[in-house]
């Protein structure tokens, strides 16, 4: 009923009385008042005057299904979105409920108090300024193929940004960068048995509307936000939906055909690493080589003095020699 009232307000440009809403939607006036207050708490700005009634002034910026559905073009991805105001980490929370949820369930949170990055790092997650989300996947896939999914996530974010006019690059395997700074990271976690995946949680963090002040000093040379780059705020709701739209298409293709050739093409054409000198940091060892390819299995092919090697993502950190990328 809450969202029926919201729809009603959205369809009317002028004030509508509580009496009219209650008659048309078949609820008591007291309930209308209660639902209006609940909507206000969700961030909707609703003006109310005793003689005139209610008028919607500003819609909420929350990453709820209600606000995102208009942009969604998916069969199952994002059809259930759990939007939290705060949580330690959306990945942690998703893992705690994953077994009873369907594939394509999304958790978004307005802030994270212990957002997690790869290799034990933190993910800065100030309130309402970024997209912090976890996608639940339950593919019938061999656990060794999971790293391909991260590339699907990266390609989906690249394409979503492109759709809103922002050009970025993919830093294999899980970062999206603009210039030499990171705007998005992906943390893919899995629960599996020997040769069967129970579920995968793909956590995507996008620095959307962070200001310089939100970025901790220690990462200010490596990280930026879309707002800082383009000089204006970016709509989080549309961007989130676009990521899901692209993700579902690329993921469904992979599940049906078993290859990620289109994804590899995107990752190669817009790679921040190919042709460049890179540092490969693996179990404490640092080696320098040249990134020369991403092969059909999604592995990074690096030419070292000792010869050519395929690098599989996981506990690998890849750095460009100049600056961050
Ligand atoms: C990285 O680049 O190191 C990966 C960052 C992943 C951050 C996202 S934000 C949503 C989800 N929940 C988390 O705790 N982490 C991921």
Atom 15, ligand 1: residue with shortest CA distance: 116
CA distance 68 to 241: 6
Query: Which run of H or E residues covers position 227?
Result: helix 226-230
Between the CA of 116 and the centroid of ligand 1 the distance, in Å, is: 5
pLDDT tens, 91-113? 999 999 999 999 999 999 999 99
pLDDT of residue 135: 98
Averaged over 147-174, what is the pLDDT? 96
Closest atom of ligand 1 to 130 CA is: 9
Between the CA of 74 and the centroid of ligand 1 the distance, in Å, is: 23
pLDDT tens, 283-303? 778 889 999 999 999 999 999
Between the CA of 83 and the centroid of ligand 1 the distance, in Å, is: 16
Question: Which mutation among 87, 88, 132 tests ligand 1's pocket best, with the greatest number of atoms within 8 A of CB?
Answer: 132
Best CA proximity match to 24, nearest among 38, 37, 11: 11
CA distance 112 to 92: 11
Computed over every residue of the chain, the mean pLDDT equals 92
pTM metric for this prediction: 0.90
pLDDT of residue 323: 54
Between the CA of 152 and the centroid of ligand 1 the distance, in Å, is: 16
Residue percentage of the chain with pLDDT more than 90: 70
pLDDT of residue 321: 59
Residue 38: partners with Cβ closer than 8 Å, 6 or more residues away: 2
| Cβ contact 81:106 at 8 Å | yes
Is residue 276 reached through a cis peptide bond, with omega within 30 degrees of 0 on the bond before it? no
Residue percentage of the chain with pLDDT more than 70: 96
pLDDT of residue 325: 58
Q: Is the CB of 112 under 6 A from ligand 1?
A: yes
CA distance 61 to 207: 15
Closest atom of ligand 1 to 116 CA is: 14
pLDDT tens, 167-192? 999 999 999 999 989 999 999 999 98
Between the CA of 73 and the centroid of ligand 1 the distance, in Å, is: 24
pLDDT tens, 116-132? 999 889 999 999 999 99
Atom 3, ligand 1: residue with shortest CA distance: 117
């Amino acid at each position: 009923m809450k969202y029926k009232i919201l729809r009603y307000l959205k369809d009317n440009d002028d004030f509508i009385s509580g009496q009219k809403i209650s008659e048309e939607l078949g609820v008591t006036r007291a309930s209308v008042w209660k639902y209006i207050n609940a909507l206000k708490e969700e961030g909707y700005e609703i003006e109310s005057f005793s003689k005139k009634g209610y008028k919607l002034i500003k819609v909420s910026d929350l990453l709820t299904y209600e606000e995102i559905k208009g942009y969604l073009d998916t069969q199952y991805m994002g059809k259930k979105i759990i939007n939290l105001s705060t949580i330690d980490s959306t990945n942690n929370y998703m893992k705690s409920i994953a077994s009873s949820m369907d594939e394509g369930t999304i958790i978004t949170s307005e802030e994270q108090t212990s957002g997690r990055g790869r290799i034990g790092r933190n993910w800065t997650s100030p309130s309402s300024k970024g997209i912090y989300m976890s996608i639940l996947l339950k593919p019938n896939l061999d656990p060794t193929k999971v790293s391909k999914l991260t590339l699907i996530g990266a390609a989906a974010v690249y394409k979503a940004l492109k759709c809103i006019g922002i050009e970025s690059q993919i830093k294999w395997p899980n970062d999206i960068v603009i210039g030499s700074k990171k705007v998005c990271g992906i943390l893919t976690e899995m629960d599996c048995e020997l040769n069967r995946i129970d579920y995968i949680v793909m956590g995507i963090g996008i620095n959307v509307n962070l200001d310089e002040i939100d970025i901790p000093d220690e990462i200010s040379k490596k990280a930026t936000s879309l707002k800082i780059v383009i000089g204006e705020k970016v709509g989080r709701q549309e961007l989130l939906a676009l990521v899901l739209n692209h993700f579902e298409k690329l993921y469904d293709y992979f599940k049906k055909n078993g290859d990620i050739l289109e994804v590899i093409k995107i990752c190669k054409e817009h790679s921040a690493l190919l042709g460049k000198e890179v540092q490969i940091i693996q179990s404490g060892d640092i080696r320098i080589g040249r990134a020369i390819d991403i092969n059909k299995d999604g592995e990074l092919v690096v030419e070292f003095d000792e010869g050519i090697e395929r690098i599989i993502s996981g506990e690998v950190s890849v750095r460009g020699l100049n600056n961050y990328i």
